[in-house]
Amino acid sequence: MNTTKRTEISSLGEFGFIERLTKDITPVNKETVKGIGDDAAILQFSNDEEVLITTDLFMEGVHFDLTYFPLKHLGYKVVVANISDIYAMNGTPKQITVSLGISRKFCIEDVEELYSGMRLACEQYGVDIVGGDTTSSLTGLAISITATGTAPKGTAVRRSTAKETDLICVTGNLGAAYMGLQLLEREKIATADKDLQPDFSGKEYILERQLKPEARRDIVEMLHANGIKPTSMIDVSDGLSSELLHICKSSNVGCRVYEEKIPIDYQTAIMAEEMNMNLYTAAMNGGEDYELLFTVPLTMHDQVKKIKGVSVIGYITKPELGAALVSNDGKEFELQAQGWNAFKP
């Protein structure tokens, strides 16, 4: 009888699973400056420049639903999701490789449509497609993107260098992509087996945030222009709570963020009300916003407040104080990483 203990992957979640797999991995090459544990790995092959590299895998039925996701938009989004990781390291994206697993339901024109979105994103951000791979798939469409970028030596920003009293800043607004997803799912159910057209009127913004997000190159450029180097940075792909906890764990700090300071768009609020959902749950745990979450020294408060599209939402504390959300009535709630868990059935 096999008595080997069996641990379900879903019991650990994505981040716990990755940590368990990689906890004993130690780089042996001197060129590996930073390996696993950040938005991108940092490699150094010259004295004046560092190379950033990151990869993401997207699976049909897990990360996207082709019932309502146009292939061109999907191609655009998967590229943006990867180069957002490069910007989150304070770098400049340069190249991507594209690998596809394609099932028999797709024709050449379908794949060309997917690639047209990828090429559009590459043109928008000045990125080259330099290679990849293709194979057949028995379970729909699988997309793997690897992105590379560069940063002058010593300028890459990690998630592990936040300091006590630092200000916590976030770009744009949060929860819109998640509410866009809820809208698409609602209309998918409402129009199933019926001769009805989906109703997206007045919801164009949250739809675009879900179907065609943008990476925040503009913010990275403005930070450079204003002489601001964040002490830590990460992109908001798995929800604000998860990303804050990543920074706190990696930097060995705590944090306080204020509910009233979290930026939320009007359409996001209206959609949450329509669906009887807690607005701040969507903003804290929704994910796929691809905004930038970063910390700066307290002394840079006035400088960072001048940058359009950046909100100061809290501050870094001692680790023993933990990570908490401060509600509008002053109560503190421990942050929970409740973002998407792809391993749950």
Asked if residue 180 and residue 116 are part of one domain, the reply reads no
Contacts of 262 (CB under 8 A, 6+ apart): 170, 174, 240, 280, 283, 284, 311, 313
Query: In this structure, how many other beta carbons lie within 10 angstroms of the beta carbon of residue 33?
Result: 16
Residue at which a domain ends, from 152, 187, 209: 152
Asked if residue 322 and residue 188 are part of one domain, the reply reads yes
Asked if residue 95 and residue 188 are part of one domain, the reply reads no
Please tell me the total count of domains within the chain: 2
Q: How confident is the model at residue 251 (pLDDT cuts 50, 70, 90)?
A: very high
pTM: 0.92
Asked if residue 219 and residue 137 are part of one domain, the reply reads no
How much of the chain, in percent, has pLDDT values that exceed 70?
Answer: 95
The pair of three-digit structure tokens given for residue 237, joined into one six-digit string: 């792909």
Q: Is the pLDDT score of 300 beyond 80?
A: yes
Asked if residue 184 and residue 123 are part of one domain, the reply reads no
**Which of 107-116, 176-185, 192-201 is least confident?**
192-201
Q: Is the pLDDT score of 241 beyond 80?
A: yes
Residue whose pair of structure tokens reads 């913010």 in the numeric block: 219
Asked if residue 130 and residue 217 are part of one domain, the reply reads no
Asked if residue 276 and residue 171 are part of one domain, the reply reads yes
The answer to whether residues 84 and 216 touch, using CB atoms and an 8 Å cutoff, is yes
| Residue range 149-170: mean pLDDT, rounded | 96
Q: Which long-range contacts (CB under 8 A, 24 or more apart) does 108-113 make?
A: 110/71, 113/70, 113/71, 113/72, 113/75
The answer to whether residues 52 and 148 touch, using CB atoms and an 8 Å cutoff, is yes
Q: Is the pLDDT score of 287 beyond 60?
A: yes
Q: How confident is the model at residue 337 (pLDDT cuts 50, 70, 90)?
A: confident
Q: Is the pLDDT score of 74 beyond 80?
A: yes
Residue at which a domain ends, from 152, 181, 200: 152
Contacts of 166 (CB under 8 A, 6+ apart): 231, 232, 295, 296, 297, 298, 315, 316
Longest dimension (CA), the chain: 67
Asked if residue 202 and residue 143 are part of one domain, the reply reads no
| Residue range 93-112: mean pLDDT, rounded | 97
The pair of three-digit structure tokens given for residue 42, joined into one six-digit string: 């940092």
Domain that holds residue 83: 31-152
- Check residues 345 and 50 and name the one with the higher pLDDT: 50
| Residue range 48-76: mean pLDDT, rounded | 96
| Residue range 274-279: mean pLDDT, rounded | 92
The pLDDT, as a whole number, for residue 105 is: 94
User: What Cα–Cα distance (Å) separates residue 156 from each residue in 40, 92, 149, 152, 252?
Assistant: 10, 10, 11, 7, 19
| Residue range 38-56: mean pLDDT, rounded | 93
Q: Is residue 292 part of a domain?
A: yes
Asked if residue 252 and residue 293 are part of one domain, the reply reads yes
pLDDT in tens, 175-186: 999 999 999 999
Q: How confident is the model at residue 197 (pLDDT cuts 50, 70, 90)?
A: confident
The pLDDT, as a whole number, for residue 343 is: 46
Residue at which a domain ends, from 128, 152, 176: 152
Phi-psi region of 334 (alpha: psi -120 to 50; beta: other; left: phi over 0): beta
**Which of 70-74, 185-189, 216-220 is least confident?**
185-189
- Residues 95 and 75: their CA atoms lie apart, in Å, by 15
Show the CA angle centred on residue 338, arms to residues 337 and 343, nearest 5°: 105
Q: Is residue 5 part of a domain?
A: no
Asked if residue 95 and residue 57 are part of one domain, the reply reads yes
Q: Is residue 3 part of a domain?
A: no
Residue whose pair of structure tokens reads 């997207």 in the numeric block: 58
| Residue range 89-97: mean pLDDT, rounded | 97
